[in-house]
Every structure is written in C-alpha cells, then in structure tokens.
Chain A
Amino acid sequence: DVVMTQSPRSLPVNLGQPASISCTSSQSLVYSDGNTYLNWFQQRPGQPPRRLIYKVSNRDSGVPDRFSGSGSGTDFTLKISRVEAEDVGVYYCMQGTHWPPWTFGQGTKVEIK
C-alpha cells in the first residue's frame, strides 16, 4: 500500500499570511497514462471533506485561487497564499494512482494564531 505522509501535522498561521503543507508518497504517483493522481481535500469543522485540488495542481470549481497545488513524483505541496478565517480546518492529501486501497495522508490542521 502507498503510504502518504503529511507535514506539518499542525499549522498555526496569522490571517493574511501564507501557509504551506507538504505531502510525500512512499512511491511515485505517476500513473500508466502519464498523469499523477494526487488530490487535496479540505475538511472544515463538522463538515465532510471537500475536494480542492485534483491531479496535483487543478483547482475544483469554486475553489479560491489563493489555493494552489504543485509537485511531482513523490513530493507534493498545497499552498494558501493568504490565509483567511474560512480556511481553518484539516487538509488531507490522497493518492488515486495505486489502488486499491486509496490512501490518505494523516491530515494537517490549519488554525489561526
């Protein structure tokens, strides 16, 4: 199984400041079709997960452009350019290349300082 490792586990950020979350996979996430199936999810308190980013860097509809994803192979990053109060929650990376099983990172809790 592919192990997804996120860091940091907790990320206190001042409003308006940038935030960055790292996700590393135990093996390359490049699929046989040449695409890399790495997703990012946001889970606000008391809410279900919401997909923010798919295929490393593609934002889902309605996702603010302050969110961006990057990376390749086994190393990926989610960046928030300027954190807003509504960004508080837990962020998860998930790989969709080597399945089953589909595997998630442990989560990174973003909070306001």
Chain B
Amino acid sequence: EVQLVESGGALVQPGGSLRLSCVASGFIFSSYSMNWVRQAPGKGLEWVSYISTSSGTIYYADSVKGRFIISRDNAKKSLHLQMNSLRAEDTAVYYCARYYDILTGSLGDAFDIWGQGTMVAVSS
C-alpha cells in the first residue's frame, strides 16, 4: 500500500524549533519529488516547500523562507522539515504530499498521495 506517515508535531514556544518527518512506503521514494503543505486550524491549504529527488532543487513559500529547511534521505525513504524561529502563524497541520515519478510520471500525477498530517502548535 502506498503510504506517507508524518511525525514530529508538538506544542512549541514562539521562537522555538521543531523537526517534522515523513516516512514513505509502497513506492520508490527516490523517484519522487516531495512537498510539504500546511493547513491552519479552520483554514485552507497552503503549499510550504518542495524538494526534488536528488535534493538539487528546493523551493519555499515566502512565508517560511529563511526559517524552514526541507531535506530528504532516500536511503531511509524519509522527508524532513526543520522549522526554526517558529511563529504563532505557523500553527497548522503539516502534510507531506507526493509530487510525481520523474522517470515514469508527469505533472498530471502530482499531489496524488498525502499523509495523515502532524499538528504543530506554536504558543507560549
């Protein structure tokens, strides 16, 4: 079964740091670019960050640029989001989402699989 499982969410104080993880199973992780998408309580979806298969291309939303760092470990089939200088407005459920298989897929396959999400709350 194709699956993404996030972990690492917690309650953290403003200015603090947190590292989220997403572990993949059921597909060839190293062939897929990956994304983080977040959803503040009661709000809509906001794309956060993208990383290519080899980590050679990385993008961030302006709202997190300079504070968050996306990374991946293909050997461990895992995706990470290092979140620094956290603010109250970073409070959200964070989802990892699969992009597409660079070898056999296309843009039309993007965002087809999502994890269950992990909750990050930033509050004093």
A contacts, CB < 8 Å to B = 31, 33, 35, 37, 39, 41, 48-51, 54-55, 58, 60, 90, 92, 94, 96, 99-107
Residue among A37, A50, A60 making CB contact with B107, cutoff 8 Å: A37
A7, chain B: closest CB distance, angstroms:
14
Give the contact stretch, choosing among B11-19, B24-32, B41-49, B83-91.
Answer: B41-49
A-B residue pairs in contact (CB < 8 Å), sample of 18: A33-B107, A37-B110, A39-B111, A48-B115, A49-B37, A49-B95, A54-B110, A54-B112, A94-B111, A100-B50, A100-B59, A100-B60, A100-B61, A101-B59, A101-B62, A102-B47, A105-B44, A107-B44
Report whether over half of chain B's contact residues are helix, strand or loop; otherwise say mixed: mixed
1/0 contact string of B84-124 vs chain A (CB within 8 Å): 00000000000100000000000111111011110000000
The residue in B44, B61, B116, B117 that gathers the most chain A C-beta atoms within 10 A of its C-beta is B44
> Are A48 and B117 in contact, CB atoms less than 8 angstroms apart?
yes
- The A interface is mostly helix, strand or loop, or mixed, namely loop
- Could you tell me which residues of chain B, from 34 to 91, have a CB within 8 Å of some CB in chain A? 35, 37, 44-47, 50, 59-62
